[in-house]
Amino acid sequence: MNALDRLREAYVPEKVIPQSPENMQWFRDAKFGMFIHWGLYALLGRGEWVMFNERLSTSEYAQLAQRFDAPRYDPRAWARTAKAAGMKYMVLTTRHHDGFSLFDSRASSFNAVNSAARRDLVAEYVDACRGEGLKVGFYYSPMDWRYPGYFFPEMYLDSALAMRDQCHAQLEELMTGYGKIDMLWFDGEWLAHGGIQFGNGHKGWYQDENFHQSERYFKVNYFWQSEKMINRIRAWQPGIMLNNRFGWEGDFHVRERNVGGIRTDKPWDNNDCLTRSWGYIPGAPMMSLREVVQHLITVVVRDGTYLLNVGPTGQGDMEPRQVERLAQVGAWLERYGEAVYGTRGGPILPGDWGGACYRGDTVYLHILDWREDTLELEGLTGEIAAVESLNSSQLSVEKTETGLRVSVPIVQRDPIDTILRIRMTAPIRWEGVRAGEQDVYGQADGLQ
């Protein structure tokens, strides 16, 4: 048994009390948030994994900090863009896997204050969010590619533990230095990227085929002392929401670039990219208005929240084309937001055609794809008081024994989302859908 295994065997997790439903209700209601990946990697314009993917030396990569002066960094403009898009919260990469912190960290000199920017960029971001009335979210990566112990935690355990100490110290800085924080979005808790092994019948180095299922490398609460740290975070920030990427099950679950099925028993988010890349890549293909709205609705009718990423340039501004696209989404939500915000997925189960959400005595049908001219939908019981469409006419809705029969003439169907509002004579009562998750524990985009 090596030193890492001994850590695992000896760890006794503390009990963690999940966040209360009341403190998470804002997230349930918000439906739409802005993810921002920004750091030194933006200067290179080849994505946020450029240091790892291109095997850049740590010293070479660190030199980027002296070019990182952020002359066009205006977080208030970011926040205004998010607000104009109809987003209700923001999540910023305070530190990604490259180890560079956007905040003033005493635990690591590799930070924005010691870069050409010469200031705490996270503090300005927090002020901007609050100034625009948006909830404040922090992304934080526990791991750090600069530490050999991340890649070989058994051999370089002291290095790995130093990385853990840095993580704990920086979490304390983030949780105690910026006032109330609403969300902490962890990413990168796994160890030993790729499961690199030596020997065991192999001639030299090889990849462990069971790496993704390994409790040693993936279920790593024993390494990060996750439950202990989360209880400290709860003491500093009693109302904060945490995801499931720090060795604990989380207050909410992350479905990265994977929507999955409807789940109403636990909050979850789906995170994806407006330009198919987290970190800035010039001219990267961008989602159309139709794609963004339909993706948002696909998430909402499954009772999730959509976290859409924008990667600012190395100068600190967002591409005008992305800002324009988000404004178009905001204009759509300005017209149809009543069928999105403050709703819950159901009671009609979603399908290839679209889905439903409800609030009080009102059900909203979102028809994204007319596979048939008439839709036979099950799941809505009770008496209907009124039916109308928010963006079409000549609709036909009939009550059946098990649900509804719906049709709208082809010329009246909205090219993005045909929305029907159905008012019932009594509030909706529905037991919802309890579900587990099918993803590999904690697996993020870089490992897929």
Give pLDDT tens digits for 3-24: 888 999 999 999 999 999 999 9
HSE at residue 22, side-chain half, CA atoms within 13 A, is 2
Asked if residue 247 lies in contact with residue 189, where contact means CB atoms within 8 angstroms, the answer is: yes
The second-level CATH assignment, the architecture, of 3-342 is: Alpha-Beta Barrel (3.20)
User: What is the per-residue pLDDT across 123-144, written as a single tens digit (0 to 9) for each?
Assistant: 999 999 999 999 999 999 999 9
The token duo for 431 is 């037991």
Q: Tell me the pLDDT of the chain averaged across its residues.
A: 94
Distances (CA, A) of 406 to 305, 349, 370, 394: 27, 15, 11, 11
CA dihedral 91, 97, 98, 101 (to 10 degrees): 40
User: What is the per-residue pLDDT across 393-442, written as a single tens digit (0 to 9) for each?
Assistant: 889 999 888 889 999 999 999 999 999 999 999 999 999 999 988 765 55
Domain map of the chain by residue range? Answer: 3-342, 346-424
Give the count of beta carbons closer than 10 Å to the beta carbon of residue 154: 15
User: What is the per-residue pLDDT across 225-277, written as a single tens digit (0 to 9) for each?
Assistant: 999 999 999 999 999 999 999 999 999 999 999 999 999 999 999 999 999 89
- Percent of the chain whose predicted confidence (pLDDT) is above 90: 85
pTM for the full model? Answer: 0.96
**What is the predicted pLDDT for the residue at 439?**
64
Asked if residue 387 lies in contact with residue 395, where contact means CB atoms within 8 angstroms, the answer is: yes
More confident residue, 236 or 191: 236
**What is the predicted pLDDT for the residue at 213?**
73
More confident residue, 39 or 372: 39
Give the count of beta carbons closer than 10 Å to the beta carbon of residue 439: 17
Could you give phi then psi for residue 88, rounded to 5 degrees?
A: -110, -10
Alpha helices, H only, 267-319: 289-300
